[in-house]
Amino acid sequence: MRVVLSLLLAIAFFHGSGARAAPQRLVTLSPLLAEWVGEVLGCEAATRTVVGVSDFSDFPACLADKPSVGPYHHVSIEKIVTLKPDLVLASEEYNREAIERLRGLKIRVEVLPKERFLSMPSWIEKLGSVLGAMDGAKRQSELWSTGLRGLAGPKKSKRTVLIEVQHEPLITVGGGSFLDEAYTAIGLMNVYRDHREGYPRISRESVLEADPDEIHILDLRGREREFEASRRSWARFPGMKAVRNGRIIRLKGEDFARCTPRLLRALKGLLGP
């Protein structure tokens, strides 16, 4: 009798302590969130659970055909409602307006904080807690920590880098971005690291003044022609160190656009042999 009573008390405490069941119908409001759900749950479980994603949620491939609720910065509340989610995953940085509107409709919304490159293990475990998938989250957290240690070996002398996100208008990576942290972790110095914005618009004159050792062009659309146009534009300034030394580098933009395992692998490639 005492054993039964103890079990009943334990169950009552568990249900009263704020614990929630794993979601059955999940909508993600940014590509980063969709990708991490795939990593933590695995594709089979993610395919069963996720019923909607935001535009450009193309990783993992198993979620690419899920219904879209629109771009992350302007999702359709109406589309989300029609999907009847029991959980919506949102980003603190990108989905603020949608969060308030969905909560006003009594839809459960869990908000993940802005991702930071060095503190991703705790971010991943928070996601795992929300999904009721702590085993998968801990595996991914440990893999991230291992990846960080792999990047922390002996560094070459620091090279200054302009990270070009867009050429017209010229947009780069500032100190408020996870990518700035990532470059610092492998010993590369972002010339706009002191800029508070995550992705500031800058002038070419300021780049000429900074005179970076390298220019890394993030090819976000996989178009050789656009990269060549950017390279030729910078080649008009032969006095720049990056131009003089032939260090205008094309990077696969999709690998650097999100703070995911693909970024760790891409950074490893930048370190070279």
pLDDT tens digits along 129-147: 999 999 999 999 999 999 9
pTM: 0.88
List pLDDT tens digits, range 91-124.
998 899 999 999 999 999 999 999 999 999 999 9
Helix-then-strand count for the chain, H and E? 13, 9
Q: What are phi and psi of 49, to 5 degrees?
A: -90, -40
Tell me how far apart the alpha carbons of residues 13 and 55 are, in angstroms, rounded to a whole number.
40
For residues 160-164, give the mean pLDDT: 97
Q: Give, in degrees to the nearest 5, the angle at Cα 105 between 102 and 109.
A: 40
* Predicted pLDDT of residue 153: 59
**What residues are paired with 50 via a beta bridge?**
26
Dist CA 273 CA 250 (whole Å): 18
Task: Provide the 8-state DSSP code for 113.
Answer: P
User: CB 100: neighbour CB atoms within 10 A?
Assistant: 10
Q: Can you give the pLDDT at residue 148?
A: 92
Tokens 């032939």 correspond to what residue?
246
The residues spanned by each domain of the chain are 21-148, 159-271
**How many CA within 13 A on the CB side of residue 174?**
12
Superfamily designation of domain 159-271: Nitrogenase molybdenum iron protein domain (3.40.50.1980)
CATH architecture of 21-148: 3-Layer(aba) Sandwich (3.40)
Confidence of residue 157 (pLDDT cuts 50, 70, 90): low
Q: Decide if pLDDT at 8 tops 60.
A: no
